């Protein structure tokens, strides 16, 4: 009996030992996965977060057929992105920027629709690819917050003046290559003008190392992922097709003598050091000639107090009066519920795509001075009259629009990079990545 009791105690002791040993192993594994590798102001970044992001980026690069940079280089590059994202998300929280679940659900529904799936099917597809749905939701929430934060803090404060557009076009018009188009890939080693001489020397050396590796045959996308500070570094640094007018003069001058596949030297700008690759080039575009229509209309809107049937009856009555010789402009001023009513319903010269499809389809069938039957669109019921048509060269207008967009994009990108840099300078960041090794 005594021996049996001792044996039972021994068995229990062994089980306790196994339990404690297993618990210690589990705790060690948890500690390993949750090890802090960076402190970012009041928050932290864990090893698991970095590992998950590296896995996501690695999968994307492998799908693109991009050779991966060395693990330690990719790790540090992605950690920097995580730190910048975390700082921006913290700032968004501090300033009251939120995305609620209803807004998030609508965004995910649109993503599912774009993939021609229901929300349930989309969720199942994510899980089959090993992507936890809860994590996907939070990643999308963060992407929305970051986009709205940039829009609020930077994009909405960028203004483009008419004089800036005039100067841009004047400068570009003096170039014979303005119509050339370039397919470009780009590496940026960020080196602000206020950097110390020692820092500039180190950054220049980094750019030279990247260029040397490229010249020795390294894959551009791999070097971009390992060295570039540009926002699209992990996407291979591709800029895509741009006209000479859409690129800085510094870039155009460097690209002009290059053949397809060749690299530029190291270029210095206020943002840092650049390396370009000319993927492809093609000749300029032809003048932009469009068919324009001078049109006017009368609109009866639908509302909570005006049903579709009532609006249709009202527009039919107006059409009958027009058929009996009533003046179109006078009836538009009297009955139309559009902002153009004061001008007799005149919408001026319209370009293709300026009006909704239902309106444009009917408008395109009319001869000059012909009046349409009542037309239903999302805005209500219309009567349309085409006054005249013409073919117009819109190259100048298009050039000004493109110039505005390009100037705005450049200013916004520079302002955003500066804003993130300032946010980083004000923050407390402590690295523990080396503790892993």
Where are the domains positioned within the chain? Answer: 2-33, 289-393
The predicted pLDDT at position 86 comes to 93
Residues 6+ apart with CB under 8 A from 336: 297, 298, 299, 300, 345
Rounded Cα distance between 142 and 90, Å, is 11
Strands 429-431 and 36-40: antiparallel
Confidence grade of residue 21 (pLDDT, cut at 50, 70, 90): very low
Percent of the chain at pLDDT exceeding 70: 88
Handedness of CA 144, 145, 146, 152 (dihedral sign): positive
Rounded Cα distance between 68 and 421, Å, is 27
Confidence grade of residue 211 (pLDDT, cut at 50, 70, 90): very high
Rounded Cα distance between 10 and 423, Å, is 61
Q: Around 378, how many Cα atoms within 13 Å sit in the side-chain half-sphere?
A: 4
Residues 6+ apart with CB under 8 A from 435: 35, 37
| Token representation of residue 270 | 């206020």
Would you give the distance in Å from CA 73 to the centre of its chain?
25
The CATH architecture annotation of domain 289-393 reads Roll (3.10)
The predicted pLDDT at position 267 comes to 94
Residue 67 carries which DSSP code? Answer: P
Rounded Cα distance between 110 and 114, Å, is 6
The predicted pLDDT at position 315 comes to 96
- Cβ(278)–Cβ(180) under 8 Å? no
pLDDT for residue 250 is more than 50: yes
pLDDT for residue 264 is more than 90: yes
Q: What is the mean pLDDT of residues 223-235?
A: 87
Per-residue model confidence as pLDDT tens digits over 85-129: 999 999 999 999 888 888 899 899 989 988 889 999 999 999 888
Q: What is the mean pLDDT of residues 297-301?
A: 95
Strands (E), 328-428: 346-350, 375-377, 380-393
Rounded Cα distance between 418 and 171, Å, is 26
Rounded Cα distance between 163 and 273, Å, is 29
Element spanning 357, H or E = helix 357-365
Confidence grade of residue 286 (pLDDT, cut at 50, 70, 90): low
The predicted pLDDT at position 435 comes to 56
- Cβ(261)–Cβ(255) under 8 Å? no
Confidence grade of residue 3 (pLDDT, cut at 50, 70, 90): very low
Stated length of the chain: 437
Per-residue model confidence as pLDDT tens digits over 142-167: 999 999 999 889 988 889 999 998 88
Rounded Cα distance between 64 and 58, Å, is 10
Residues 6+ apart with CB under 8 A from 14: none
Rounded Cα distance between 290 and 354, Å, is 12
Question: Taking all residues of the chain, what is their mean pLDDT, rounded to a whole number?
Answer: 84
């Amino acid at each position: 009996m005594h021996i049996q009791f001792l044996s039972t105690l021994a068995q229990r002791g062994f089980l306790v030992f196994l339990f404690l040993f297993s618990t210690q192993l589990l705790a060690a594994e948890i500690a390993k996965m949750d090890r802090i590798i960076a402190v970012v102001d009041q928050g932290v970044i864990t090893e698991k977060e970095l590992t998950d992001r590296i896995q996501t980026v690695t999968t994307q690069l492998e799908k693109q057929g991009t050779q991966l940079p060395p693990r330690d280089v990719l790790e540090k590059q992605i950690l920097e992105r995580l730190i910048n994202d975390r700082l921006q998300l913290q700032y968004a929280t501090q300033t009251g920027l939120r995305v609620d679940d209803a807004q998030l659900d609508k965004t995910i529904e649109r993503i599912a629709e774009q993939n021609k799936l229901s929300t349930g099917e989309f969720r199942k597809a994510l899980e089959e690819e090993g992507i936890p749905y809860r994590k996907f939701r939070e990643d999308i929430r963060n992407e929305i917050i970051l986009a709205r934060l940039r829009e609020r803090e930077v994009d909405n404060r960028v203004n483009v003046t008419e004089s800036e557009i005039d100067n841009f076009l004047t400068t570009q018009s003096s170039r014979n290559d303005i119509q050339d188009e370039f397919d470009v890939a780009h590496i940026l080693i960020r080196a602000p003008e206020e950097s110390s001489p020692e820092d500039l020397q180190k950054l220049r050396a980094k750019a030279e190392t990247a260029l040397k590796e490229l010249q020795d045959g390294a894959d551009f996308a791999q070097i971009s992922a390992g060295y570039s500070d540009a926002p699209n570094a992990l996407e291979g640094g591709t800029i895509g097709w741009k006209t000479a007018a859409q690129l800085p003069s510094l870039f155009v001058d460097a690209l002009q003598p290059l053949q397809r596949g060749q690299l530029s030297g190291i270029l210095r700008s206020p943002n840092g050091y650049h390396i370009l690759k000319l993927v492809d080039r093609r000749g300029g575009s032809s003048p932009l000639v469009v068919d324009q229509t001078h049109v006017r209309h009368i609109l009866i809107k639908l509302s909570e107090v005006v049903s579709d049937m009532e609006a249709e009856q009202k527009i039919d009555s107006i059409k009958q009066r027009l058929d009996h010789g009533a003046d179109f402009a006078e009836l538009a001023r009297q009955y139309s519920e559009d902002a153009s009513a004061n001008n007799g319903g005149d919408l001026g010269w319209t370009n293709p795509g300026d009006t909704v499809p239902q309106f444009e389809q009917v408008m395109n069938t009319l001869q000059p001075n012909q009046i349409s039957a009542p037309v239903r669109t999302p805005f209500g019921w219309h009567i349309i009259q085409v006054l005249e048509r013409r073919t117009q060269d819109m190259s100048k207008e298009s050039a000004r629009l493109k110039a505005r967009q390009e100037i705005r994009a450049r200013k916004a990108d520079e302002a955003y990079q500066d804003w993130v840099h300032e946010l980083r300078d004000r923050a407390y960041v402590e690295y523990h990545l080396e503790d892993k090794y």
